């Protein structure tokens, strides 16, 4: 998909994300989860991001399912147990929707590379010049924040919960100091960054991707309306 025009990939990713937002049918959501997982795997070249996302989603989906099953009134699954059929159904639907939106967002974010996202933002009217410096800072600050977290998470004082507020404040102070330092570096090297490259004209494949990006939300809405 890297050979496809960036505009086509952007439209396709926006269509996938919009379709995930408008869909309501459980069967369509299940198919969308599988499709988005395969799309993320194809864009990333491995299953690691998908597996990592599913692990995080499990920590969110299990409490959602349990809370809805226990506290939603309705027919009981087992007599004497506070688990309702309606609650299990609602919790399962909400968990599926959460997984679909998360994976669709991952697929949309991976449609373009970091440089292409910067080029898109630089071309955006009004908001582009205001957001572009923050996007340039995103990469360095992710690395500096990860270093600060690793540095403080190895502190032996974490064994005492009373020291957690102090360590958290120190971590935030380190990140703020790093942000000021990275901001000065960005200011000094601002003109060294390569200019946004000119994109070629739209070809037939890009037009098909644009059409697919517009059709996906419509198909998802029709499926939700007919369900």
pLDDT digits (tens, 9 = 90+) for 100-154: 999 999 999 998 887 777 777 777 777 777 887 887 888 888 889 988 888 877 7
Tell me, yes or no, whether 191 and 207 share the same domain: no
Tell me, yes or no, whether 181 and 145 share the same domain: yes
Q: In degrees, to the nearest 5, what angle opens at C-alpha 28 toward C-alphas 207 and 44?
A: 55
Tell me, yes or no, whether 156 and 97 share the same domain: no
120 within domain boundaries: no
User: Residue 213 pLDDT > 90, yes or no?
Assistant: no
Which residues partner with 76 through β-bridges? 84
Give the model confidence (pLDDT) of 173-198 as tens digits: 999 999 999 999 888 887 776 555 55
Tell me, yes or no, whether 7 and 68 share the same domain: yes
User: Residue 40 pLDDT > 80, yes or no?
Assistant: yes
Residues 28-37, mean pLDDT to the nearest whole number:
92
Tell me, yes or no, whether 20 and 71 share the same domain: yes
Tell me, yes or no, whether 108 and 3 share the same domain: yes
178 within domain boundaries: yes
Tell me, yes or no, whether 168 and 60 share the same domain: no
Locate all alpha helices (DSSP H) within the chain, ordered by sequence.
Answer: 6-22, 26-44, 48-71, 85-109, 114-123, 127-153, 164-188, 204-226
Residue 102: predicted pLDDT: 95
**Domain total in the chain:** 2
Residue 219: predicted pLDDT: 74
| Predicted TM-score (pTM) of this structure | 0.73
Tell me, yes or no, whether 172 and 105 share the same domain: no
Tell me, yes or no, whether 20 and 104 share the same domain: yes
Domain that holds residue 71: 1-112+201-227
Contacts 24+ apart (CB under 8 A), 198-207: 199/5, 199/6, 199/7, 199/119, 200/5, 202/5, 202/7, 202/8, 203/5, 205/4, 205/5, 205/8, 206/4, 206/5, 206/7, 206/8, 207/8
Tell me, yes or no, whether 65 and 41 share the same domain: yes
Separation between Cα atoms, residue 35 and residue 103, nearest integer Å: 9
Tell me, yes or no, whether 70 and 98 share the same domain: yes
117 within domain boundaries: no
Tell me, yes or no, whether 70 and 182 share the same domain: no
């Amino acid at each position: 998909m890297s050979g496809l025009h960036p505009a086509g990939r952007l439209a396709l990713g926006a269509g996938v994300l919009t379709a995930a937002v408008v869909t309501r049918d459980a069967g369509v959501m299940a198919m969308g989860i599988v499709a988005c997982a395969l799309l993320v795997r194809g864009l990333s070249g491995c299953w690691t991001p998908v597996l990592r996302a599913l692990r995080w989603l499990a920590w969110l989906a299990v409490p959602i399912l349990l809370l809805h099953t226990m506290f939603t009134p309705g027919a009981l699954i087992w007599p004497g147990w506070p688990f309702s059929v309606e609650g299990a159904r609602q919790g399962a639907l909400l968990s599926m929707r959460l997984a679909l939106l998360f994976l669709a967002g991952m697929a949309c974010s991976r449609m373009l590379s970091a440089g292409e996202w910067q080029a898109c933002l630089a071309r955006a009217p009004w908001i582009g010049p205001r957001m572009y410096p923050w996007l340039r800072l995103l990469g360095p600050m992710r690395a500096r924040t990860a270093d600060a977290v690793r540095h403080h998470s190895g502190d032996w004082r974490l064994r005492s919960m009373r020291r957690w507020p102090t360590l958290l404040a120190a971590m935030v102070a380190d990140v703020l100091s790093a942000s000021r330092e990275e901001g000065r570096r960005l200011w000094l090297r601002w003109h060294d960054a390569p200019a946004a490259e000119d994109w070629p004209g739209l070809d037939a494949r890009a037009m098909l991707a644009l059409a697919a990006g517009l059709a996906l939300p419509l198909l998802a809405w029709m499926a939700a309306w007919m369900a």
